[in-house]
Chain A
Amino acid sequence: MQTVSKDLKISGSGSAGGGLFDSVEISGSGKINGDIESQSFKSSGASKVYGRLITKVLKVSGSTCFKNDIEAKRAEASGSLSVDGHMQCRFLKASGYMGIGQYLVAEAIDVQGRLKVGAYCSAETFKSRGSFDIHGLLNADRVEVRLYHRCYAQEIGGGTIEVKRGRKGFGLGKFIHSLLNKELSAELIEGDEIYLENTIAKTVRGNHVHIGQGCQIDCVEYRSDIQVTGNGQVKKSEKL
């Protein structure tokens, strides 16, 4: 591919067709109607992209809406980001709200705030502080969840899975924190090392399984050992 140095800048209100760019910067309200390929894509304010986006760096703040798929190396989102298609990237850092219509694939996912994924979500490391809603399999080598609100994944599978309650805040934060429903629910959780708190699941299968405070598990199947602490409840457990 030939190298072109073309920049696209929209400030105020404007729209563009798409194409091949070095950098894309949108502030204010921008609209991009076609596919776009760039080195960096930055948007603040409200923007809408109707085509596919392929970029090295993606930075969005404010409210950005992608009607198609995203492919990025490094993605950082704050505010509200919604993607109707799927998203594929290496590093994803998000805070605020992020909603993806189809699947999400990345190497490292670090989310603070709310994440919603319409299909499966897979990564090498998945970190969440806040809440998520994954309507498929959450598949990661390392899953690290700090619960601050309600979390749901149809299934969770991987190497190490750790679900802990989030820290309490101070003053008013502490009060609000105590009102929120902080639990993770899943149909099935499978992994080698599993540590759970405040989790409601039908089946948990693993090598070393630790069921902690606030858990309600229907069935645990383990290979090496199981440990139940606090007021964790396990209806049935079976050593394989």
Chain B
Amino acid sequence: MEEDLITKKELLQLTNISYGQLYRWKRKKLIPEEWFIRKATFTGQETFFPRDKILGRIDKIKNMKAGLSLDEIADQMSAHPIDINLSPKEALEQNIVSKTASRVFNEQYLQVKSLSFPDLLTIYMVDKALQTGTLSIEESQLISQTMKAYYPLLNGRNAELVMLRKYGMTSCLLQVLPGEIFIEQSTTIVVRLNVATYTEQLKIKLSELRRTSNANRE
């Protein structure tokens, strides 16, 4: 699958940002390393970016820059977990996770009193997987098992959670990105979930929650 690419030159012109800004954002890890695609062209080495991803990202950074410092934005966008503890009740009430997904999690790990960021992320991903309608609730337990066991080992690296099925047997794996997997033909991929994408979505949800709770307090 060929992604639509954009050269660095084009990108700077289109978004009206400077080299200095682009390199600063790269230093702060606002733009993931794997988006810098280096290719040899007839004019020498050129850097390309996946067009939609980078344009979306730069738009987002520009918008967030008004209210947050670069370090704060970097925190939001990094794959590292943030420090948070929510009670399962709060998480439900604030619509961070759905009832079904948190029930799956609760059944497996009994009644946990407080949910940390990795827990929330796991429930959130179970939620998203269930929404695709391609897997059963029992199968979704594999996701939380896999995440619970291996998420701590990622240490800020991005990964993809892949669920496979063959003759009705389901299995789950977590693959560190960037990387490729090749699967034998009679096996189908039930669902693929990019951990960084959901980390970011969840962080945005949580920061909105924090903002409103701060506002309420005041």
Residues of A within 8 A of B (CB): 122, 139-141, 157-160, 187-188, 190-192, 202-203, 205-207, 218-219, 221, 240
A interface secondary structure, majority: strand
Q: What is the bound-complex CA distance between A218 and B45, given in angstroms?
A: 13
- Nearest-CB distance from B183 to chain A (Å)? 33
Interchain CB contact under 8 A, B19 and A207: yes
Determine how close the nearest CB of chain A comes to the CB of B210; give it in whole angstroms. 26
Are A139 and B19 in contact, with the CB atoms below 8 A? Answer: no
* Cβ contact within 8 Å between B20 and A192: yes
- In the complex, number of A-B residue pairs with CB atoms less than 8 Å apart: 50
Pick from A191, A192, A203: contact of B44, CB below 8 A.
A203
Give Cα A206–Cα B22 distance, bound, in whole angstroms.
12
Q: Which residues of A contact B23 (CB under 8 A)?
A: 139-141, 157-159, 190-191
In the complex, B213 has a CB within 8 A of chain A: no
A158 to B19, CA, bound (A): 6
**6 A-B pairs, CB-CB below 8 angstroms?**
A139-B26, A159-B19, A160-B20, A192-B18, A203-B43, A203-B45
B20 close to A158 (CB less than 8 A) = yes
Interface size class of B (residues with CB under 8 A): 10 to 19
Q: Are B9 and A207 closer than 8 Å at their CB atoms?
A: no
Residues of chain B at the chain A interface (Cβ within 8 Å): 9, 13, 18-20, 22-24, 26-27, 43-45
A191-B23 Cα distance, complex, nearest whole Å: 9
CB distance from A161 to the nearest CB of B (A): 9
CB pair A219–B18 under 8 Å, yes or no, is no
> Looking across the interface, which residue of chain B has its beta carbon closest to that of A123?
B27
Q: Are A141 and B44 in contact (CB under 8 A)?
A: no
Q: Which residues of B contact A203 (CB under 8 A)?
A: 43-45
Kindly list chain B residues whose C-beta atoms are within 8 Å of the C-beta of A240.
9, 13
Q: Please report the C-alpha to C-alpha distance between residue A159 and residue B9 in the assembled complex, in whole angstroms.
A: 16
Contacting residues, chain A, for B27 (C-beta < 8 A): 122, 139-140
Q: Shortest CB–CB separation between residue A86 and chain B, in angstroms?
A: 14
